[in-house]
């Protein structure tokens, strides 16, 4: 034999003054331990017909040639059993159990814990995914857990995510509450009245999802649409998005489409985006449509449609629709107090005044919830001390990095006012107003601020 049985390490020749005996024994140990994989860890006595290089972890209560070798690694080498005494931290693969075992001097060999179907070491996790359709996954406020939440509740984290009132955007039940549905030009009251819709047939065989669908049929059929208008005039989100699942089955003519629009108070379209499943792949495509809130936003208009055309198995579908909003730091611009000029295609310049009462002043500085909108041109920020300020001898009005931009050493007495006029300046990011205390921290009082600015509106068509 010129090499070890497991790693094929060469032995020294016997002619080298018997040095090979010690070296070969070291090689045997090395071969037995490197990439340690044992046949089993539950035997107390050697097997009847071992092969060269076989390894076992000896179970408690060992007998015969393994007597007194509990927890040792038994290596069959050179026709005899060789004992290898484990050290803390050794790792081995147990072929019989099909898993990893590790050695600890105090406890012996232990199976490495397997993963679980839920998140590990988190205090607020779901027990499973069943019933979580249409919910959002987020980190809660303490950043100790992931959780599925109905976004309206904000979960344990709160604040960062709002669910707008899209009613039953999950069509698995067939309930159309909140949606206006038409087949062609005819409005329908419920799914059962939609001609050609297979309520119990092929529509149910889509990964178990029952969907708003183009239905079955071998001839051309009418376009199916559904829409819902959501009032967002009082919502504080700066960004909205619609999520949905689009599904197409076999027929390229059957196209599921979702359109998301933000409308002005007069119903004109301020922003729009859409998505369709037009590729040739059968199955579900999740989509996310984003829109920033324009200055005059009043309504979110969500339309879903399925074009039912010729085909023997033409199921196109939309499911799991949700409208959400995010981000309150960059407050939306209010509607203009006056439209200075407007083109025939909706481009305009609006003159705005945004106000906020900052109450319970406390600390070295206070930031507003409203903000100078992105792309606004600002003329001034005015201030009135509504309730006498305590703790500070005066205050500055400005922004981060320019604390007195709109006025310094302003009065703390009730009814003190200031008009902080500046040369017109464009802002390229939403920017809160900051009040900074002078001569001590704020301990009380209230100040009303007003931002005076112009905001351009892009052409709408």
Which H or E run contains 108?
A: strand 108-111
Domain 171-326: assigned CATH number: 2.60.120.260
What is d(CA 230, CA 253) in angstroms, rounded to the nearest whole number? Answer: 30
- Split at pLDDT 50, 70, 90, the class of 107 is very high
Domain 338-457 has CATH 2.60.120: yes
- Split at pLDDT 50, 70, 90, the class of 12 is low
pLDDT in tens, 215-271: 444 445 567 788 888 888 877 677 787 877 777 765 555 678 889 998 888 888 888
What is d(CA 451, CA 428) in angstroms, rounded to the nearest whole number? Answer: 16
Q: What is the pLDDT of residue 157?
A: 39
Using a pLDDT cut of 90, give the percent of the chain over it: 31
Mean pLDDT for 49-78 is: 93
Q: What is the pLDDT of residue 461?
A: 60
Cβ–Cβ under 8 Å, residues 283 and 133: no
Domain ranges for the chain, please list them. 19-111, 171-326, 338-457
Q: What is the pLDDT of residue 216?
A: 46
What is d(CA 92, CA 33) in angstroms, rounded to the nearest whole number? Answer: 9
Q: What is the pLDDT of residue 205?
A: 34
What is d(CA 275, CA 199) in angstroms, rounded to the nearest whole number? Answer: 26
Q: Which residues pair with 290 in a beta bridge?
A: 241
Using CA atoms, how far residue 147 sits from 132, 183, 186, 245, 378, in Å, is: 10, 39, 42, 21, 42
Q: What is the pLDDT of residue 329?
A: 35
Q: What is the pLDDT of residue 163?
A: 54
Task: Quote the pTM value.
Answer: 0.40
Mean pLDDT for 324-340 is: 55
Cβ–Cβ under 8 Å, residues 419 and 328: no
pLDDT in tens, 113-129: 765 555 545 555 555 66
The strand ranges marked E within 126-282 are 136-139, 146-149, 161-163, 180-183, 186-187, 212-213, 224-231, 239-249, 256-263, 269-276
Q: What is the pLDDT of residue 154?
A: 39
pLDDT in tens, 117-173: 555 455 555 556 655 555 666 665 555 666 665 544 333 333 455 556 554 555 555
Compare 60 and 119 and report the one with higher pLDDT: 60
Q: Please, what is the average pLDDT of the chain?
A: 76
Task: Indicate if the pLDDT at residue 345 is higher than 90.
Answer: no
Query: Is 43 buried (19+), middle (13-18) or exposed (0-12) by CB count in 10 A?
Result: middle
Mean pLDDT for 375-379 is: 93
Task: Indicate if the pLDDT at residue 207 is higher than 50.
Answer: no
- Split at pLDDT 50, 70, 90, the class of 28 is confident
pLDDT in tens, 420-445: 999 999 999 889 999 999 999 999 99
Compare 193 and 400 and report the one with higher pLDDT: 400
First to last CA, the chain: 86
Cβ–Cβ under 8 Å, residues 392 and 362: no
Structure tokens at 339: 């439209």
Using CA atoms, how far residue 93 sits from 11, 56, 69, 106, in Å, is: 26, 10, 19, 20
Q: What is the pLDDT of residue 420?
A: 95
Cβ–Cβ under 8 Å, residues 425 and 385: no
Task: Indicate if the pLDDT at residue 390 is higher than 80.
Answer: yes
Cβ–Cβ under 8 Å, residues 455 and 336: yes
3-state DSSP call for residue 431? strand
Using a pLDDT cut of 70, give the percent of the chain over it: 66
Task: Indicate if the pLDDT at residue 401 is higher than 80.
Answer: yes
């Amino acid at each position: 034999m010129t090499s070890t049985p497991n790693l094929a390490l060469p032995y020294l020749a016997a002619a080298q003054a018997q040095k090979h005996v010690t070296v070969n024994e070291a090689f045997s140990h090395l071969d037995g331990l490197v990439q340690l994989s044992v046949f089993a860890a539950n035997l107390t006595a050697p097997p009847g017909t071992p092969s060269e290089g076989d390894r076992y972890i000896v179970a408690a209560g060992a007998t015969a040639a393994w007597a007194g070798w509990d927890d040792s690694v038994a290596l069959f080498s050179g026709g005899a059993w060789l004992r290898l005494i484990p050290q803390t931290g050794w790792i081995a693969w147990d072929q019989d159990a099909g898993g990893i075992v590790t050695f600890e001097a105090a406890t012996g060999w232990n199976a490495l814990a397997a993963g679980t179907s839920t998140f590990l070491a988190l205090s607020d996790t779901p027990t499973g995914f069943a019933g979580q359709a249409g919910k959002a996954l987020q980190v809660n406020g303490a950043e100790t857990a992931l959780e599925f939440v109905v976004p309206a509740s904000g979960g344990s984290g709160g604040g960062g995510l709002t669910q707008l009132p899209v009613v039953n955007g999950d069509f698995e039940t067939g309930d159309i509450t909140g949606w206006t549905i038409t087949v062609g030009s005819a409005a329908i009251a419920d799914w059962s009245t939609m001609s050609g819709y297979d309520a119990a047939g092929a529509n149910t065989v889509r990964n178990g999802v029952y969907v708003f669908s183009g239905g079955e049929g071998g001839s051309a059929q009418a376009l199916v649409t559904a829409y819902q208008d959501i009032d967002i005039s009082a919502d504080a989100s700066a960004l909205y998005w619609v999520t949905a699942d689009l599904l197409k089955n076999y027929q390229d003519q059957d196209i599921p489409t979702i359109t998301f629009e933000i409308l002005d108070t007069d119903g004109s379209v301020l922003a729009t985006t859409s998505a369709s499943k037009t590729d040739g792949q059968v199955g579900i495509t999740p989509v996310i449509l984003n829109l920033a809130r324009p200055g005059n936003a009043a309504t979110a208009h969500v339309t879903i449609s399925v074009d039912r055309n010729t085909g023997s198995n033409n199921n196109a579908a939309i499911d799991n629709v949700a409208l959400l909003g995010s981000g309150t730091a960059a407050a939306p611009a209010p509607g203009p107090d006056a439209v200075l000029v407007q083109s025939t295609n909706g481009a305009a310049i609006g003159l705005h005044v945004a106000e906020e009462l900052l109450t319970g002043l406390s600390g070295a500085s206070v930031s507003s919830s409203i903000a100078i909108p992105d792309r606004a041109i600002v003329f001034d920020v005015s201030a009135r001390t509504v309730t006498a300020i305590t703790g500070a001898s005066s205050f500055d009005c400005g922004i981060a990095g320019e604390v007195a931009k709109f006025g310094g050493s302003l009065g703390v007495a009730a009814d003190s006012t200031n008009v902080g006029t500046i040369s017109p300046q464009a802002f390229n990011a939403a920017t809160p107003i900051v009040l900074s205390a002078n001569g001590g921290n704020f301990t009380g009082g209230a100040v009303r601020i007003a931002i005076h600015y112009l905001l351009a509106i892009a052409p709408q068509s």
